[in-house]
């Protein structure tokens, strides 16, 4: 079972994420590599700015998590990398559409550059309840 941890002894989450997440159940953990906004059909970067890039990254992340035998509601931790922190509000809003109830723990940092000139990349840790430990 996934449990979101909230304590008033640390700063409250300032977006759609939890301070920490625990999991207790037989199963496996998937460490999902960073996903950038490549269209899986063409292998090309999507066009349409940070909004389109963020949606594609989250769709790619979702597909890999599902291939692991999990789903977004069992993602425990996400790391977000942005090339421009001015994109944070847009990315955060779209991220919140994908992680609505019991969002995972999260970090978001600005980086100098990402592969293929992407503006956003996300990696995740997910619980896979149907997998052997």
Which is the catalytic residue, given 4, 68, 108, 128? 108
Choose among 107, 88, 126, 132: nearest CA to 17: 107
**Burial (0-12, 13-18, 19+ Cβ within 10 Å), 44:** exposed
Residue 62 has φ and ψ, to the nearest 5°, of -60, -45
Which tokens is 66 given? 């599902």
4 catalytically annotated: no
Active-site positions read: 108
């Amino acid at each position: 079972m996934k449990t979101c941890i909230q304590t008033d002894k640390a700063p409250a989450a300032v977006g759609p994420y939890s301070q920490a997440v625990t999991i207790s159940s037989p199963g496996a953990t998937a460490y999902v590599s960073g996903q950038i906004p490549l269209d899986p059909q063409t292998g090309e970067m999507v066009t349409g700015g940070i909004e389109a890039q963020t949606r594609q990254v989250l769709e790619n992340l979702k597909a890999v998590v599902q291939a692991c035998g999990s789903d977004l509601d069992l993602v425990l931790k996400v790391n977000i990398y942005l090339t421009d922190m001015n994109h944070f509000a847009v990315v955060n809003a779209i991220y919140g559409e994908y992680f609505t109830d019991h969002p995972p723990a999260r970090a978001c940092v600005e980086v100098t550059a990402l592969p293929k000139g992407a503006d956003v990349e996300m990696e995740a840790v997910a619980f896979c309840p149907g997998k052997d430990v």
